[in-house]
Amino acid sequence: MKVKVVNLDNKKAGDIELADEVFGLAPRADLLQRMVKFQLAARRAGTHKTKDVSEVSGTGAKPFNQKGTGRARQGQKRAPHQRGGGVAHGPVLRSHAHALPKKVRKLALKTALSAKQAEGKLVIVDELTAKEAKTKAMAGKFNALGWNSALIIDASEPDTNFALSTRNLPNVDVLQEKGANVYDILRRDTLVLTKSAVESLEARLK
């Protein structure tokens, strides 16, 4: 499919042909859900922890005789039902990450790109450059383009002035092509790709 290319001044800068096998797939909400769940699970810290009976400080001696006291028999003061005792079946240090086939992850990324294209929220720009590092000037250009919530992806490290101009803009993320992922694509309203990023994505995902 052919789409137009614009520049940061919102003027047409030519056309580009997008590969249907990357940007023209049918929507698959189930794939996107699986991929987002995979990403968010992998970044969970998993540092929740409670002490069990073996880790609680205290003696393991029997607190009083088994018989003759009129009280319920007890084995130790570190038991879970005792005050200050260990926690039974509490959370432990672990990773929440789970496996997801590489083919599924690749298809999910292509589906996310296709979804943005189908919704008309995919914008192709010729290049990301700025003459000076001015956040106010860049915010004005973004407002003119309608990029209130945008993920911007370039094939390589963005221009220094452009990076400095955009890093303090709310709801705007800038990534390299190798860092493109489903979660960041879906959490922003507009997806902005440079021509070089399109070429790199197509070469990787075809």
For residue range 192-205, what is the model confidence (pLDDT) as tens digits? 999 999 999 999 99
pTM: 0.86
Are residue 112 and residue 151 in the same domain, yes or no?
A: yes
Which of residues 62, 90, 118 is at a domain's end?
90
The predicted structure's pLDDT at residue 145: 94
Q: What is the dihedral of CA 177, 187, 139, 134, to 10 degrees?
A: -50
For 37, 53, 54, the CA distances from 61, given in Å and listed in that order, are 47, 13, 13
Please determine, for residue 26, whether its predicted confidence score (pLDDT) is greater than 90: yes
By the 8 A CB rule, do 62 and 75 touch? Answer: yes
Whether residues 71 and 138 fall in one domain = no
Whether 60 and 158 share a structural domain? no
Q: Is 68 found in the same domain as 109?
A: no
Question: Given this model, what pLDDT does residue 4 score?
Answer: 94
196, with CB counted inside 10 A (0-12, 13-18, 19+), is middle
Q: 173 pairs with which residues across the strands?
A: 151
* Whether residues 62 and 134 fall in one domain: no
| pLDDT value for 206 | 87
Residue-wise pLDDT for 132-154, tens only, equals 999 999 999 999 999 999 999 99
Q: Rounded mean pLDDT of 57-73?
A: 95
pLDDT of amino acid 57: 95
User: How many structural domains is the chain composed of?
Assistant: 2
Domain of residue 136: give its range.
Answer: 2-45+96-205
